[in-house]
Structure 1
Amino acid sequence: MTFDFVGRWLGRHRDRPGITVDLSCGGRVTLREIDGRPVLAITTAPGADGRCEVAAVPLSEAERRELGQVLESDVLLAS
């Protein structure tokens, strides 16, 4: 999967709720469900051309629960 394809794929699901953490570097980490499966989406800060790159990592249920506990506890993630 290329970053452009993943970005378009995730873009179709922007109306679905998820847990999002904005990073101090300008990037973003989002935990959400896409097509019923937990996914960790990582977005880079905009580059010089204004574009961001996006990657999606499928998670197991155990990984989703563990990561969800961290993201929901208002812990500041270091970038």
Structure 2
Amino acid sequence: MRTITYITIMVSMMVKAVVFGAGAIAILAVPALADHAKYLLPAWIVITFLVSPVIARLMAPRLRLREHPGDRPTFGWR
């Protein structure tokens, strides 16, 4: 497997936790949504499972860069 795939898998797990937590808090904090939590939380789990690899794939190339475009290496004092 390519390095970008490994990074995507690792980042996907972290993104999944953050996205699920944000959605779960939103569902449980809003009284109108909390009434339907029995149906919304499983749906949110599926949505999170599908969306997190996409978000992680968008983040992975940026995490792999050693020097970001536009950064100039500095040698000594300027």
- The normalised TM-score by structure 2 is 0.25
Say which structure, 1 or 2, has more relative contact order (CA 8 Å, 6+ apart): 2
Structure (1 or 2) with the larger CA radius of gyration: 2
Structure with the higher fraction of residues in helix conformation:
2
- The normalised TM-score by structure 1 is 0.25
